[in-house]
Amino acid sequence: MINTNKNVFYALLFLAMAGWGASWVNAKVLSSYINEYELIFLRNIFTIITLAPLIYLAKKSFYINVKSLFLAFCVAMVMIVYMKCYFLGTKEGTASLGGSLVTSLIPINTFIIMAVFFGKKILRKDVFALSLGAIGVLTMLNIWTFESKEIFSSHNLYFLAASILWPILTILSSKITKTSPLVFTLYMYIITTVIVSIFFLDVSSIDYSSFDDIFWINIFSLSVIATTFSTSI
């Protein structure tokens, strides 16, 4: 029974990563319809609508303590900046580059941040693994053939910023106490939506009439599959 459960979980993890990978393509397609703040708003609305029933079915309490709520607010602020970099990077660059570069840099940057700011001890095997990862990232970029102005192009800088912001978001989220990660995520998306709606977006100005089937398929994939499903798994 345990082996069966593990196999199911591994299969779901594979699907979750596939959904996460597809999200970069979704964002590239959606960038021709809406701006970054409209993307954040619509993605979050569909995520909240689908995540809340999942929490209820999982019989999780919607209670969140003050510390976790404050962390949700901090994470929401980081998420807005991350999503802006994520959106503009895919809009100006390529979805494949963003998906491979950012996801490869995230564990490297997470480890570096933990070592510098939280005193995590760096072992030889860690240095070897990080160096191997860095070489892999540089190889994916085919950096050996680029001039400096191409390396530091705007979309690469957006992807680099995203790869730094996500570890910060992850580390902040790891500090929550006595709150389900799913519930914390729900509040984070609610807070993000409220902030964007108040300070960055006139919701009434969104032109829904310009959205076709391709738009709705991609927003569904980005919010429900890549966010609700992948995050839950």
Domain ranges of the chain: 18-232
Cα 127 to Cα 176: distance, rounded to the nearest angstrom: 29
* pLDDT on residue 3: 63
* pLDDT on residue 152: 63
What's the whole-model pTM score?
0.83
Q: What angle do CA 91, 94, 100 make, to 5 degrees?
A: 125
Query: Is 197 or 12 the better-scoring residue by pLDDT?
Result: 197
Cα–Cα nearest to 44, from 229, 231, 233, 223: 223
Average pLDDT over residues 134-160: 72
* pLDDT on residue 112: 81
* pLDDT on residue 95: 61
Q: Tell me: pLDDT of 206 over 60.
A: yes
